[in-house]
């Protein structure tokens, strides 16, 4: 029985990502732009029901909910060739149409006004599933709708469906060239909700996407469509074992459980190779791909979709490589031995120093110029450096109380800015905290936990923390 996943797309970035993602899934499963299975798509063996359901007329409809506070992006989707793919009852555009003005508080406040309508869509999709496994959220953390409304929806999903997994694909802003002057505020406030309410966060960093587009695809100024092609490739690859199942990692909980040993350390980075694109001629380089070549490239920092600051103590907590193509398991075993001999990956000293590998089939309906491709999902302690940059940017603005007037207009900030200070403590906790108590929102929790992961004493350190918290 398939374990269904409902996708929630929020804001401009989330809906642009989702639009390209659904186009890719349709191509991989032989579904045309009207939602009808092509006559030649007869090979079978795939599980379309995880992300699609069939209407009474046999059309395949995405289990997707599209939400935005301004109409531009959703109107573009509804006038595209794929307009008839979506269920119109699952599309919400605010009647005001003014957006959130890139202010987190406005997006969050709008969530309270549209709560009933959005949750009715969610409930309808959940009740239409035979065995709902969880939710996938797509959003950005820098603007107003993706961050503010995204935070609100994330909290409410966690409250209403406490036993269901919530995985987010969160786009982090380009810190070198910020698009929004208040993005440090928006990012920090959203990060707190991602720490407390998400089970898994796949971090997609705009800085790294721009770097990969320039280095790999030879695009100095990539368009949104081109960067979203990169993103959709990664998201599709991360769900490949769910849609083309094998004997392992064929549900979301199996993937998450293998990557996240402790609840709060759930921020994952990705690498993918080789990148190709239908609209990107420079990306269509053809070369001989072997399992070892793919797995070695996945470990190279330049292929990561997160820009982190390297340091000598940073190490992998866990790695899952999803290898697509016709692969001999013997090649995988030999590749893992070579990687271990060359010490290409440094692991935590207290856990298994091994790379997990999931083999899966490619879609038979998409021609590929390479024999093997791979995606790495990794939990790495250097992810904390990304949050450190966010915190430094926040501190620079907060010291001057810059650009706070728009936040004070919203109800939650009308009596002061305590919410910022609480969120800041959560951020610092990501780096310095070892307590596994979900209820504590202090900053030291999270920081210490990632730092402690690099120490051989992590197991006893955590045990002491749990013991102390249980005797408080």
Q: What is the 3-state secondary structure (H, E, C) of 403-418?
A: CCHHHHCCHHHCCCCH
Distance CA 22, CA 78 (A): 13
Q: Which of 394, 387, 383 is nearest to 454 (CA)?
A: 383
For 460, half-sphere exposure in the C-beta direction (CA atoms, 13 angstrom radius) is: 4
Matching residue, tokens 């503010």: 148
Where do the DSSP E strands lie in 29-108?
52-54, 60-62, 64-68, 91-93
Q: What distance lies between CA 216 and its chain's CA centroid?
A: 22
Distance CA 405, CA 50 (A): 44
Task: Kindly report, residue by residue over 434-443, the tens digit of the pLDDT.
Answer: 222 232 233 3
pTM over 0.85: yes
Angle at 350 between CA 163 and CA 379, to 5 degrees: 50
Query: What is the reported pLDDT for 149?
Result: 93
Matching residue, tokens 């379309």: 48
Query: What is the reported pLDDT for 307?
Result: 87
Q: Which of 200, 351, 426, 448 is nearest to 464 (CA)?
A: 448
Question: Which residues, 6 or more positions from 64, have their beta carbon under 8 angstroms from its beta carbon?
Answer: 6, 7, 8, 9, 18, 22, 86, 87, 90
172 φ, ψ to 5°?
-90, 150
Matching residue, tokens 């951020």: 427
Query: What is the reported pLDDT for 85?
Result: 94
Contact indicator for 90, 67 with CB cutoff of 8 Å: no
Query: What is the reported pLDDT for 388?
Result: 79
Distance CA 71, CA 53 (A): 26
Contact indicator for 348, 458 with CB cutoff of 8 Å: yes
Tens of pLDDT along the chain (472 residues) come to 568 999 999 999 999 999 999 999 999 999 999 999 988 888 778 899 999 999 888 899 999 999 999 999 999 999 999 999 999 999 999 887 777 788 888 898 899 899 999 999 999 999 999 999 999 999 999 888 999 999 999 999 999 999 999 999 999 887 777 677 888 888 888 888 888 899 999 999 888 888 888 887 777 787 778 888 889 999 999 999 999 887 777 888 989 988 998 888 899 999 998 876 554 555 555 567 889 999 999 999 888 999 888 788 889 999 999 999 888 899 999 999 999 999 899 998 888 888 999 999 888 888 877 889 999 999 998 888 888 788 788 778 877 777 877 777 766 666 555 555 555 554 433 322 222 223 223 334 666 677 778 888 777 755 334 433 443 4
Query: What is the reported pLDDT for 469?
Result: 40
DSSP letter (8 states) at residue 255: H
Dihedral in degrees, nearest 10, Cα atoms 158, 430, 318, 378:
80
Contact indicator for 302, 215 with CB cutoff of 8 Å: yes
Contact indicator for 140, 146 with CB cutoff of 8 Å: yes
């Amino acid at each position: 029985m398939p374990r269904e996943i409902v996708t929630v797309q929020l804001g401009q970035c989330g809906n642009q990502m989702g639009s390209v993602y659904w186009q890719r899934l349709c191509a991989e499963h032989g579904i045309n732009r009207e939602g009808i299975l092509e006559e030649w798509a007869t090979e079978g063996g795939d599980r379309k029901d995880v992300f699609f359901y069939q209407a009474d007329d046999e059309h395949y409809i995405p289990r997707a909910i599209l939400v935005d506070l301004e109409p531009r992006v959703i109107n573009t989707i509804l006038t595209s060739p794929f307009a008839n793919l979506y269920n119109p009852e699952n599309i919400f555009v605010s009647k005001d149409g003014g957006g959130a003005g890139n202010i987190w508080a406005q997006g969050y406040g709008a969530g309270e006004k549209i709560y009933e309508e959005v949750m009715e869509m969610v409930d309808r999709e959940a009740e239409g599933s035979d065995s709902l496994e969880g939710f996938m959220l797509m959003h950005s953390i820098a603007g107003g709708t993706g961050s503010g409304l995204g935070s609100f929806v994330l909290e409410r999903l966690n409250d209403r469906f406490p036993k269901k997994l919530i995985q987010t694909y969160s786009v982090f802003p380009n810190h070198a060239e910020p698009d929004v002057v208040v993005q440090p505020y928006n990012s920090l406030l959203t990060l707190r909700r991602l720490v407390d309410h998400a089970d898994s966060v796949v971090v997609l960093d705009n800085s790294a996407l721009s770097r990969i587009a320039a280095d790999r695809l030879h695009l100095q100024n990539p368009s949104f469509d081109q960067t979203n092609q990169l993103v959709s490739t990664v998201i599709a690859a991360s769900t490949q074992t769910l849609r083309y199942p094998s004997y392992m990692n064929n549900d979301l909980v199996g993937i998450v459980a293998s990557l996240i040993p402790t609840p709060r350390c759930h921020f994952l980075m990705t690498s993918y190779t080789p990148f190709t694109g239908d609209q990107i001629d420079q990306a269509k380089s053809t070369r001989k791909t072997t399992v070892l070549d793919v797995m070695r490239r996945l470990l190279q920092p330049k292929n990561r979709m997160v820009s982190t600051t390297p340091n000598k103590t940073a190490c992998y907590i866990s790695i899952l490589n999803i290898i697509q193509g016709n692969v001999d398991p013997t090649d995988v075993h030999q590749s893992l031995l070579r990687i271990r001999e060359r010490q290409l990956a440094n692991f935590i000293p207290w856990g298994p120093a091994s790379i997990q590998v999931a083999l899966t089939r490619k879609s038979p309906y998409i021609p590929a110029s390479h024999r093997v491709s791979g995606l790495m999902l990794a939990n790495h302690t250097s992810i904390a450096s990304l949050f450190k940059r966010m915190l430094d940017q926040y501190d620079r603005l907060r010291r001057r109380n810059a650009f706070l007037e728009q936040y004070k207009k919203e109800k939650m900030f009308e009596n002061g800015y305590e919410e910022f200070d609480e969120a800041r403590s959560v951020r610092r906790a990501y780096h310095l905290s070892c307590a596994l108590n979900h209820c504590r929102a202090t900053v030291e929790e999270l920081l210490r936990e990632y730092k402690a992961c690099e120490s051989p004493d992590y197991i006893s350190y955590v045990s002491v923390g749990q013991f102390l918290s249980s005797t408080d």
